[in-house]
Amino acid sequence: MKIIVVGGVAGGATAIARLRRLDENAEILLLERGKYVSFANCGLPYYIGGAIEERDSLFVTTKESIEDKYNIEIRTENEVLSIDKENKRVRIIDYTSGREYEEDYDKLLLSTGSSPFIPDVEGINERNIFKLWTVPDVDAIYNFIEKEKPKKAVVIGGGFIGLETAENLYEKGLEVTLVEMSDQVMPPLDKDMAKILENHLENKGVKLLLGEGFDGTENKGKTIKLKSGKKLESDITILSIGVRPNSGIAKSAGLELNERGGIKVDKFQKTSDENIYAVGDVIEVKDFILGTNTMIPLAGPANKQGRAVASNILEKREETYKATMGTSVAKVFDMTVATVGSNEKSLIKKGYKYKKDYYISLVHPMSHAGYYPGALPMTIKLIFGRDGEILGAQIVGYDGVDKRIDIIATTIYFKGNVYDLSDLELAYAPPYSSAKDPVNFAGYVATNILEGLTEPITLQELKEDKSKYTVLDVREEIEQVSGMMDEAISMPLTEIRNRIGELDKNKEYAIYCAVGIRGYIAERILKQRGFSAHNILGGYRTYLDIEGSSDYSDLSTEQDKFESSENKDDNNKEIKLLNVCGLSCPGPIVQVSEAINKLSPGEIIEVVATDPGFARDIKSWANNTGNTLLESSANKGKFSAKIQKGKRVEKEEKNPTNIKEKTMIIFDGDLDKAIASFIIATGAAAMGNKVNMFFTFWGLSILRKENAPKVKKDFMSKMFSMMLPKSSRKLGLSKMNFFGMGSKMIRKVMKDKGVSSLEELILNAQRAGVKMTACQMSMDVMGLSKEELIEGVEVGGVATMLSDNDNSNMNLFI
């Protein structure tokens, strides 16, 4: 039997080895259009960053080694041009000589994989624009960096390869901007889980531009154009927009394909032609959980398909490839992200309804026992059906993430459910896990939901119907100093039984604590006393991840400064050390508070924590308690802070004439006043000023996004937002508006005179670093949400505005 295998990476390489082990006499020919076979394409980004130091390490094996070990003929740089099904013949081109020739086969295996999508836009072929898919690709990028010494990099695409590339370019010392067309990174994640990664990326120094489409380049690839009109400077740009199956020869041969171009195969990997098989990225597979047809390009499934198909080709025994569940994992700086099965957004797209067809368990456990050093947090989102069947899971954390996703994937494979997750007996010792493993914990929450012990709500549910719920914060007061949800009532869990008389049984309560455990206890207390109560999934940590500021600009991302110090301050005073690693909120803040109380004014304490909320909480806590945060840093999942008891005494008073900060309150929504505001703002920024623009009431119309997404609103909010201008392009003049004619006339005059339009002024202001803040209270009153505002706008309250005012030497009210 003569077998021709087309494609020598992953599935193809595995297939030829299995074919030879099963049949010593078969004639096996491998055709690979590239120069290399069986290379580690998943490791390519890490070679760029230096984590993989030797180029040879990228090769799993070599052409010569495979030929010698398996007695197989391999022809690299030979590509199949066409397939003649009737005569069982392929036409091939040898790129080394340019010769075209034919080969007959008895069985043909297609393992042609996929290729990165390259958009047809201006400037796509410039010498500093690259894709990252093959060894020649990585060689070109590596050599360009070594020779040209680029400073700024842009990565287009926020999937697995895009994030890994961004990380490794950053590790190489480049300033990195990541551009993603959707409103989140990492498509397999839901938006709430992706936000954790986004915060981490920004913390590390990667600039994110979400909801931005790539529209080509100019200036010899040095300027990247985005569909919004924004432009970025770039010395090197990597395209990671997505992949497409290499099914061209299959299509030309008349093999059956799906609508995305994937080759359709049966459970034996046989195509619509009985003598042709296919494996890997190029084929359509079954979704293991839902049973629907899909395409999941992953190396693991490709190798399993390659192993199974060998036996079927040789007709030794039937081996079936059941389905793909999409188990995947990736490293993103200090964090690990992993997924399996369906995410929530894909279920919604398929028509599933939350609390009707599926439920969510969301927990924040530690990687191992908190009392053992090095415990780090993770977030597990488990999605399950009405009967407890596991539909999917997502995990983001610092340590132990891969282990937990594999446990859940194995449970899914053997048709286990959330009750099984609760019952699993998993290895336990303090350095490795807890007596209740994080997977057990996710299962406990899920079973509590199915058994009706808890009726949790998501932050999205709370946001969509705020008027329905009265929000209770059951954390301790020391925790609440760092911040609370809007309109929340303080009622610590330790006081709730004694204060039960303050609550109204006619109201519906939404309860939260730090991560959800105390919120659940409070929910059970209230339910058993006749109250309607719901625990908010994920607690305050999830709220901060999704709604809170992702600004970690005060955090150093260098190797921990404090470890290299001699634990002395500037006056040679000893610095007290406090290690709260492994403690979850409220532990770190409580410990800091107790330690600070024992210090004398002016003394300094250094704190090291692993709770990610600590990095955000400590700044607010210090400000609100009259203490001073001197320094903070983050390194490999650990957060450090130096805190001085009391307020820092400045050596000399600030000279008001040296202050270069301007604050503008934009109350009006007229076109002419908006233009004037942004001309002043950009001018002040150009003169080296920090500029703050606070938009309130009618001024919010300036920030409204064109073609904003639909947001669920109550009747009054709908009425208000309908009556407001839909975007900056719909603003009228304060005088001589003439039913809108005036604004059109002034825009034309500005264009004729070469004056930037309002929209261009807004973009220029953003590029100049002008901070734009929308008033939360005004947004609530006017029926607007953050999703309806242009990208880059922060949301804040009067405290934000007053703080900016206090720091400014000029304040304008427009």
pLDDT at 488 over 50: yes
- The confidence score (pLDDT) of residue 567 equals 53
Convert the pLDDT of each residue in 313-333 to its tens digit.
998 889 999 999 999 999 999
3-state secondary structure of 175: strand
**What is the b/e burial string over 122-149, where b = at least 16 CB atoms within 10 angstroms of the residue's CB?**
ebeebebbbbbbbbebbeebbebbeeee
State the pairing for strand pair 27-32/73-76. Answer: parallel
Q: What is the mean pLDDT of residues 621-632?
A: 83
- The confidence score (pLDDT) of residue 25 equals 95
State the pairing for strand pair 469-473/690-695. Answer: unpaired
- The count of other CB atoms within 10 Å of the CB of residue 598 is 10
- The confidence score (pLDDT) of residue 278 equals 97
Length of the chain measured in residues: 814
Q: Which amino acid is at 697?
A: F
Is 5:28 a contact under the CB 8 Å cutoff? yes
- The confidence score (pLDDT) of residue 653 equals 46
Mean pLDDT for the chain overall: 89
- The confidence score (pLDDT) of residue 654 equals 46
| Three state DSSP letters for 680-748 | HHHHHHHCCCEEEEEECHHHHHHHECCCCCCCCCCHHHHHHHHHCCCCHHHCCCCCCCHHHHHHHHHHH
Chain-centroid distance, C-alpha 777? 29
pLDDT at 624 over 80: no
pLDDT at 559 over 70: no
DSSP conformational letter for 475? S
Residues 6+ apart with CB under 8 A from 405: 327, 329, 338, 339, 340, 393, 395
Q: What is the mean pLDDT of residues 339-349?
A: 97
> If residue 541 lies in a helix (H) or strand (E), which one and from where to where?
helix 539-546
Better pLDDT: 422 or 660: 422
Task: Report the alpha-carbon angle 18-24-27, nearest 5.
Answer: 85
Residue 721 main-chain phi, psi, to 5 deg: -65, -30
* Residue 651 confidence class, pLDDT cut points 50, 70, 90: very low
pLDDT at 484 over 80: yes
Distance CA(39)–CA(57), nearest Å, equals 9
Distance CA(175)–CA(208), nearest Å, equals 12
- The confidence score (pLDDT) of residue 564 equals 35
Convert the pLDDT of each residue in 149-198 to its tens digit.
999 999 999 999 999 999 999 999 999 999 999 999 999 999 999 999 99
The token duo for 126 is 């410039």
Is 526:533 a contact under the CB 8 Å cutoff? yes
> First and final CA of the chain: distance in angstroms?
83
3-state secondary structure of 570: coil
pLDDT at 386 over 90: yes
Is 216:135 a contact under the CB 8 Å cutoff? no
3-state secondary structure of 565: coil
Residues 6+ apart with CB under 8 A from 76: 8, 32, 34, 35, 36, 37, 63
Asked whether the bond before 136 is cis by omega within 30 degrees of 0, the reply is no
3-state secondary structure of 520: helix
- The confidence score (pLDDT) of residue 549 equals 53
Convert the pLDDT of each residue in 201-233 to its tens digit.
998 999 999 999 999 999 999 999 999 999 999
The token duo for 535 is 């625990």
- Spot the catalytic one: 42, 513, 585, 775: 42
Q: What is the mean pLDDT of residues 14-21?
A: 95
DSSP conformational letter for 71? -
Torsional sign, CA 65, 71, 72, 73: positive
* Residue 498 confidence class, pLDDT cut points 50, 70, 90: very high
The token duo for 762 is 């807004």
User: Is residue 30 packed enough to be buried (19+ CB in 10 Å), middle (13-18) or exposed (0-12)?
Assistant: buried
Q: What is the mean pLDDT of residues 600-606?
A: 88
Q: Which domains, and CATH codes, for the chain?
A: 2-116+245-314 (3.50.50.60), 129-239 (3.50.50.60), 334-450 (3.50.50.60), 459-546 (3.40.250.10), 555-644 (3.30.110.40), 659-813 (3.40.1260.10)
Q: What is the mean pLDDT of residues 623-651?
A: 78
- The confidence score (pLDDT) of residue 648 equals 62
- The confidence score (pLDDT) of residue 611 equals 76
- The confidence score (pLDDT) of residue 561 equals 36
Distance CA(726)–CA(710), nearest Å, equals 12
Is 91:81 a contact under the CB 8 Å cutoff? yes
Give me the numbers of helices (H) and strands (E) for the chain, helices first please.
Answer: 25, 39
Better pLDDT: 101 or 785: 101
Is 795:776 a contact under the CB 8 Å cutoff? yes
3-state secondary structure of 754: coil
Q: What is the mean pLDDT of residues 85-101?
A: 97
Poorest-pLDDT segment among 252-261, 436-445, 511-520, 786-795: 786-795
* Residue 574 confidence class, pLDDT cut points 50, 70, 90: confident
3-state secondary structure of 406: helix
Residues 6+ apart with CB under 8 A from 634: 203, 334, 552, 555, 556, 557, 615, 640
Residue 232 half-sphere exposure, CB side, CA atoms within 13 Å? 27
Convert the pLDDT of each residue in 38-71 to its tens digit.
887 888 999 999 999 999 888 888 889 999 999 9
Is 131:239 a contact under the CB 8 Å cutoff? yes
Nearest to 166, CA basis, from 214, 204, 117: 204
Distance CA(752)–CA(648), nearest Å, equals 55
- The confidence score (pLDDT) of residue 707 equals 78
Is 214:156 a contact under the CB 8 Å cutoff? yes
Is residue 585 annotated as part of the catalytic site, yes or no?
A: no
pLDDT at 762 over 60: yes
Nearest to 339, CA basis, from 352, 327, 324: 327
- The confidence score (pLDDT) of residue 660 equals 78
pTM of the entire predicted model:
0.75
- The confidence score (pLDDT) of residue 584 equals 66
- The confidence score (pLDDT) of residue 571 equals 54
Residues 6+ apart with CB under 8 A from 425: none
Better pLDDT: 102 or 799: 102
Residues 6+ apart with CB under 8 A from 801: 663, 665, 692, 694, 773, 775
- The confidence score (pLDDT) of residue 585 equals 61
Is 666:814 a contact under the CB 8 Å cutoff? yes
pLDDT at 803 over 80: no
pLDDT at 637 over 90: no
Nearest to 479, CA basis, from 555, 524, 540, 543: 540
Is 580:587 a contact under the CB 8 Å cutoff? yes
| Three state DSSP letters for 110-163 | ECCCEEECCCCCCCCCCCCEEECCCHHHHHHHHHHHHHHCCCEEEEECCCHHHH
Is 602:627 a contact under the CB 8 Å cutoff? no
pLDDT at 554 over 50: no
DSSP conformational letter for 377? B
DSSP conformational letter for 228? T
Distances 428 to 299, 410, 485, 696 between C-alpha atoms, Å: 31, 18, 36, 54
